[in-house]
Chain A
Amino acid sequence: MEILGYVRPWGGIGIRNHVLILPVVVCAAEVAQRIADAVPGTVAVPHQHGCGQIGADFEQTKRTLVGYGSNPNVAATIVVGLGCEKVAAEEVAAEIAACGQRVELVIIQKEGGSRRAVEKGVEIAGKLVAETARIAPQPVPVKALILGLECGGSDATSGLAANPALGVASDLLVAAGGTSILSETPEIMGAEHLLARRAVNDEVARRLYEIVARVEEGAKRMGVDLRGANPAPGNIAGGITTIEEKSLGCIYKAGTAKVQGVLEYAEAPRRPGLWVMDTPGHDVESVTGMVAGGAQIVVFTTGRGTPAGCAIAPVIKVTGNSRTFRNMEENIDVNAGTIIDGQETIEEVGRRIFSLMLAVARGELTKAEKLGHREFAITRVGPTF
């Protein structure tokens, strides 16, 4: 089984060939967006962070930004900084370069203002797009893929149809030597014992319990019921009653493979197989974390329907609800509602998802890509100072 990959100088394999305009701080977000708007073939990831951050919170934001520049779906990056921020543009650029990725730098204060910074960025971006266009994709084994597993806007069909089918696809990828990442720690709560049984060793099992306990402690510290946010009101309307029920349905996405280890947010898997990444249940933050950790492709199940995509990785949408598919067909790639309707088995839909993953990894655009969905959000672990 082969896909078409863009082989980077350091050996990383991308399935897209993006030129990324990466602001390191909110103060550079507008300039980054204007550069991207002016140069077709580039994409910006504006965000509101990068200043007033300390400790683990600062490290996580920086790791996410470096992870985006280092994702092999990116051919080249322009790091855009203001010049006085905590997450220093020079450091982010240096770390991306150290990964072996092509990187350029634009600093607004150094260029003498936003207009000049945009001009400089546009000039560099034009060159990078021309350079990038000369990189031809070549056949590479499917095991190069790192798949991000996501679910959002869940309803009762997610656990019955879409997630089990995605689990089949995840198992097929892992069996082929590839890598898969399960995320969203709150949506493991109540099902962690089932995942822990599949851990490769006791330490991995202990870590699984630990990350779930950390989330639960968070809700306890705030003195509130997690149900205020998760399951979300739409989940509840769709028939999901408790976080345990949601979690039990959620973990089907991870199929039956052994759990190799637990990753921090935006941390890269160290070998093939199934991994768990500690991310929030917030879909866009979760997808951003997995893509910053190296995922080149995401499959996203949704019972209620959601349009969210990703700036640098194709996102395939799957719904287990045929009504949702009909209602939001322009956003959703696969209808797994056929399982509920009795027309297809979980195995059949799983194989269909895997086939589409291969087609997308050979260049076919997902609906989120065609519609230009480029959502990006970094999760925080501390307050802004």
Chain B
Amino acid sequence: MRAIVINERDNVATALEDIPAGARVKVRVGAEEREIQVVTAIQFGHKFALRPIPKGGEVIKYGEVMGKATADINPGEHVHVHNVESQRGRGDLLAKEGGR
């Protein structure tokens, strides 16, 4: 396996090796095996989407929410800091709102 899906609920897979752009990658989601074509190169340890994740949608890994999408993410796209943000420890958001 070149990528792993940890929990059936997850909408991202983690690359277990460097995957070149356009590669078709087999992943096991629960009992089912699926094939995803990655859009860009995915580095070892980085994530790609298994399903479409709309802007504002939850990104799920380990069966738990790990952040929200800041853009629409298509299956096979790299999922990282450029399109996901944390919901926690965000003092910057409060500062922007003028609250403190």
Q: Which residues of B contact A238 (CB under 8 A)?
A: 45
Q: Are B66 and A225 in contact (CB under 8 A)?
A: no
| Closest chain A CB from B28 CB (angstroms) | 13
- Are B45 and A239 closer than 8 Å at their CB atoms? yes
Interface presence of A222 (CB below 8 A): yes
In the complex, the answer to whether A243 meets B64 with C-beta atoms within 8 Å is no
B86 touches A243 (CB 8 A): yes
Q: Please determine whether A243 and B45 come into contact, CB atoms closer than 8 angstroms.
A: no
Total of A-B residue pairs, C-beta within 8 Å: 110
Q: How far is the CB of B70 from chain A (nearest CB, A)?
A: 11
Stretch in B32-40, B49-57, B77-85 with 4+ CB within 8 Å of A: B77-85
Cβ of A241 and Cβ of B91 under 8 Å apart?
A: no
Contact (Cβ within 8 A) A239 B46:
yes
Say yes or no: A242 contacts B66, CB within 8 Å: yes
Q: A156-B45, A244-B67 are in contact. Are A220 and B62 (CB under 8 A)?
A: no
CB pair B84–A224 under 8 Å, yes or no, is no
The contact of B80 among A191, A221, A239, by CB within 8 Å, is A239
Contact B67 A224 (CB under 8 A): no
Query: Which residues of A sit under 8 angstroms from B46, Cβ to Cβ?
Result: 156, 239
When the two chains form their complex, are residues A239 and B86 in contact, meaning their CB atoms are under 8 A apart? no
Q: How many residues of A contact B (CB 8 A)?
A: 37
Q: How far is the CA of A361 from the CA of B89 in the complex (A)?
A: 39
Query: When each residue 8-29 of chain B gets 1 if its CB lies under 8 Å from chain A and 0 otherwise, what string results?
Result: 0000001110000000000000
Taking a contact as CB atoms closer than 8 A, the residue among A220, A226, A248 that contacts B61 in the complex is A248
CB neighbours (8 Å) of A219 from chain B are 89-91
Complex alpha-carbon distance, A300 and B45, angstroms = 20
- B78 shortest CB reach to chain A, Å: 10
Q: Which of A194, A230, A245 contacts B67 (CB 8 A)?
A: A245
CB of B85 within 8 A of CB of A242, answer yes
With a CB–CB cut-off of 8 A, which chain A residues contact B91?
219-226
Please name the residue on chain A nearest to B67 by beta carbon. A242
* A248 in contact with B64 given A160-B4, A241-B81 (CB within 8 Å): yes
Q: A190-B88, A248-B64 are in contact. Are A223 and B100 (CB under 8 A)?
A: yes
- Could you tell me the distance in whole angstroms from the C-beta of B39 to the nearest C-beta in chain A? 17
- Tell me which of B14, B44, B79, B86 contacts A227 (CB under 8 A): B86
Q: Is B94 an interface residue (CB 8 A)?
A: yes
Q: Which residue of B lies closest to A216 (CB)?
A: B89
Report A184 CB to chain B, min CB distance, Å: 14
Taking a contact as CB atoms under 8 Å apart, the answer to whether A186 and B81 are in contact is no
Are A241 and B92 closer than 8 Å at their CB atoms? no
CB–CB A220/B86 < 8 A: no
When distances are taken between beta carbons in the complex, the residues of chain A under 8 Å from B87 are 190, 242, 244
Q: Is B74 close to A, CB under 8 A?
A: no
Cβ of A51 under 8 Å from chain B:
no
Report whether A191 and B64 are in contact in the complex, using a CB–CB cutoff of 8 Å: yes
Q: A224 and B86 in contact (CB under 8 A), knowing A156-B14, A236-B81, A241-B67?
A: no
B95: CB under 8 A from chain A?
Answer: yes
Kindly report which residue of chain A lies nearest to residue B68, judged by CB atoms: A242
CA distance A224 to B88 in the complex (A): 11
**Is A289 located at the chain interface by the 8 A CB criterion?**
no
For residue A157, CB closer than 8 A to chain B, the reply is yes
Q: Quick one: closest B residue to A238, CB to CB?
A: B45
- Contact of A241 with B66 at beta-carbon distance under 8 Å, contacts A156-B45, A248-B61 already known: yes
**A328 contacts B by Cβ under 8 Å:** no
A159 at the interface (CB under 8 A from B): yes
Q: Which of A101-148 contact B (CB under 8 A)?
A: none
A369 at interface by CB-CB < 8 Å = no
* CA distance in complex: A156, B46 (Å): 7
Q: Which of A156, A189, A239, A241 contacts B89 (CB 8 A)?
A: A189
14 example contacts (A-B, Cβ-Cβ < 8 A) are as follows A216-B88, A220-B100, A223-B100, A225-B86, A225-B89, A226-B90, A241-B59, A241-B66, A241-B81, A242-B66, A243-B89, A244-B66, A245-B61, A248-B62
Give 8 closest A-B pairs by Cβ, nearest first. Answer: A226-B89, A156-B45, A223-B95, A239-B45, A242-B86, A245-B66, A242-B67, A220-B91
- Chain A residues at the B interface, C-beta cutoff of 8 Å: 155-157, 159-160, 186, 189-191, 194, 215-216, 219-227, 230, 236, 238-239, 241-245, 248-249, 303, 321, 323, 340, 342
